[in-house]
Structure 1
Amino acid sequence: MSATRLTGYRYSVYSRAARMGLHLAGIDHAYQEANPFEADVASQIRHPMGRVPLLQVGAETLYETAAILTWCDAMRDWQAPPMVQARAVQVGGIVDAYGYWPLVRQVYSHGWFRPAIGAPSDPDQLAAGLKASEQVLDMLEDLAQSGAVLTGSTLTRADCHLAPMIDAFQHVPEGAQALAKRRALSRWFDAIQTTPAFAETAVGTFPEPR
């Protein structure tokens, strides 16, 4: 039995980010599925807030995606110039502070996920998310243009942190159109889709529309 176990939810972009980080680092691990939106399940997750992802490494427990990806970096002994490392952290900060809500909880949730599972969706939330995502995508486009991170050739924690959210976002036609307007970010996403870390963590990530 593996000494490393990831608890996640297949529809969680953050769980997929952690899975990508573990894949990139070549870390053998067990996986436990847990839906944090089910109260009886959330109470059993060893996260103080009942959330995922959560990584157990022997007797140690890590939560928060950035912390898990930091551990994965250390385990693969990632060496990069200081500015590249800083830019990778910057991408994660942008994603967490400004990107997750409009890209995922508004655009993807109301434009794809809720309709796919037969739940009610709110077109106003979709529209608000698309509007708010513009500045977020512009910030990420600038970083992709810099050549330090989001290159599509050398994967970093930035790719793991961002790719699942962009994948969810572009499932919605309006999201795909917004992404296509950012040439560097689009090139990056085209490239990362061909990587094993991305492709092999995609199974069962998105519900099929009814």
Structure 2
Amino acid sequence: MSKPTLYGPAYSTYTRSARLAMEEKGVDYDLVEVDFLQGPMPAEQIERHPFAKVPALAHDGFKLYEVSAIGRYVDEVFDGPSLQPDDARERARMTQIISILDSYTYPCAIGQLVIQRLVMPMLGNQPDEAAIAAALPAISKCMNVLAGLRADNAFLVGSQLTLADLHFVPIYDYFRNTPESDAILEQNPGLRAWWDGVSKRESVQKTQPPSG
């Protein structure tokens, strides 16, 4: 079996989620950086992903895009610890949390807050304070819901690390570096406890995005 190749920038939340899955499985892979912050999405990436997103995966002639599909593929094709629960209800909960992260959490926490507070200044632009303020109620709701679903478990779904955790790690990591996160996380100490645990994992440390 050949080495898989992942196409996407190390700073991308979804590229990092795919990398986390491969790191947890112990997969040897190549990361091909695809930068889209300094200009439009490169044409070769649009050939890999017709919706001009990242990441995309190539493995033994098989091409795949969408991070949820990539995570499941990596988990089921390669040896290593399972990243999906055996129990049907826990597996459904994992899928539910991933959907919450994609549909509700990412758009407000990353698409509005992190982009405005962290990325815009890095690109030499001023953050849109109105957009940030508008995003905070939705972010607070998302974090409250996720904390409630986690309850007192070590991970988001019971006692097993799953693809749901790997989906949340990159979002949470950027979010926690905004000043607005403090008040929201004070209301959800369980999420800080979750982060204290997962952030010590080798996979999380190896996939830290570049700073600056």
TM-score computed with the length of structure 1 as normaliser: 0.89
Amino acid in the other structure paired with 1:201: T
Amino acid in the other structure paired with 2:8: G
Kept after mapping to 1: 8 A contact 2:7/2:31: yes
Unaligned runs of 5+ in 2: none
How far apart, CA to CA, are the structure 1 residues paired with 2:186 and 2:15? 26
- Matched residue, 1:9: 9
User: How many residues align structurally?
Assistant: 205
**Partner residue of 1:196 out of 193, 199, 202:** 202
Residues 152 and 121 (structure 1), Cα distance of their counterparts in 2 relative to 1, 3 Å cut: farther
Q: Is residue 132 from structure 1 mapped to residue 138 from structure 2 by the alignment?
A: yes
1:121: how far off? 1.6
**Partner residue of 1:142 out of 145, 148, 173:** 148
Kept after mapping to 2: 8 A contact 1:17/1:163: yes
How far apart, CA to CA, are the structure 2 residues paired with 1:198 and 1:190? 11
Deviation string 1:45-78 (CA, Å, 9 cap, x unpaired) is: 1111222111111111111010011112213462
- Matched residue, 1:64: 66
Kept after mapping to 1: 8 A contact 2:155/2:194: no
Amino acid in the other structure paired with 1:33: E
Q: Is residue 42 from structure 1 mapped to residue 42 from structure 2 by the alignment?
A: yes
Deviation string 1:14-73 (CA, Å, 9 cap, x unpaired) is: 11111111111111111100023533x521111112221111111111110100111122
- Matched residue, 1:113: 119
Residues 151 and 97 (structure 1), Cα distance of their counterparts in 2 relative to 1, 3 Å cut: closer
Residues 33 and 202 (structure 1), Cα distance of their counterparts in 2 relative to 1, 3 Å cut: same
Unaligned runs of 5+ in 1: none
How far apart, CA to CA, are the structure 1 residues paired with 2:154 and 2:90? 5
- Matched residue, 1:158: 164
Percent identical across equivalent pairs? 30
1:81: how far off? 1.7
Deviation string 1:140-169 (CA, Å, 9 cap, x unpaired) is: 011110638426963210111011001111
Aligned CA RMSD, in angstroms, stands at 2.1
- Matched residue, 2:75: 73
Find the residue that maps to 2:184 and give its secondary structure: helix
How far apart, CA to CA, are the structure 1 residues paired with 2:158 and 2:177? 20
Deviation string 1:151-191 (CA, Å, 9 cap, x unpaired) is: 69632101110110011111101113312321221210111
How far apart, CA to CA, are the structure 2 residues paired with 1:146 and 1:81? 19
How far apart, CA to CA, are the structure 1 residues paired with 2:157 and 2:192? 11
